[in-house]
Structure 1
Amino acid sequence: MIRTATPADVPVLHTLIRELAEYERALDEVRATEDQLTQALFGEHPAAHAHLAVDDTTGEVVGYAVWFLNFSTWRGVQGIYLEDLYVRPAARGGGHGKALLTALAHLCVTRGYQRLEWSVLNWNTPSIAFYESLGARPQDEWTVYRLTDEALVKVSRMTPHRMGTAQ
């Protein structure tokens, strides 16, 4: 079963996020707190959304998807960017990952969004095989770049900038 996360789910969601980071060999990079997740998902202006995969037999949350809306200037419409998709190892193969992606694809189609996009680590061959089995194709002509931490601060200070609003 797939359901929308509620504020009461934040502790288990935070645990799952940490499990994903450990799987991706980056647990030391997780800085998000439960309070931050609560604000991001359920605050006055939510920045992201979450769906949970729940085992039908036990009622245990076994996976999650966190996503947010993006926009394609070429298509002229919004889409979904899937930030995280994770299913606990013991629950893999039970259809939970497929159900999460199906739910997001359904949201795209019913809301008129024309893209569902995400990134996957190059070494994560089980996930790559899974995504490709569903018809997803890598966008290998694009390379993701990221500024964080000191580099982000350094670039922010390079050039004087002015941000204003149109009158």
Structure 2
Amino acid sequence: MDDLELQRLVEEISLAEFGKPFRHKAYFNSRLKTTGGRYMLNTHHVEINRKYLEQLGHQELCGIIRHELCHYHLHIEGKGYKHRDQDFKILMKAVGAPRFCSPLPGDYQRKGKKRDIIYFCKSCGQRYHRRRNINTQKYVCGKCRGRLVKINGNETI
């Protein structure tokens, strides 16, 4: 699929799902790494990550397009176009657009936490997962104020 076919697909989805024309440009942007698509506020263009089409298929691409068109149409109409806005949430639900795109099964997917340090409360057994070390002499359990002990990630208590 090239940019011209993508433009036609976006225009078709816009008319079919939203009942409104898409009057700006839609194109693939190979520099997008961690997101499926992007709506540009200044130019009103829609950029799509080609890897989502190649690795996850046409269905995922249509979902990303619907999501970006929600931003587009609401912004053009002067309504709430941000993820946290109620207008955006309602329109996404109405057209069946996904809130997030699926993770890519490749290099850009995060492979879990880099470092998972587990602290365990001696009194109540509460576990705390942290990325950084904490001073167990200074900090106590938030649940029962008991002493915290650092344990290994593979160990079970």
Max Rg structure: 2
TM-score (norm 1): 0.26
TM-score (norm 2): 0.28
Structure number with higher relative contact order (C-alpha < 8 Å, ≥ 6 residues apart): 1
Structure with greater helix share of residues: 1
Structure with greater strand share of residues: 1
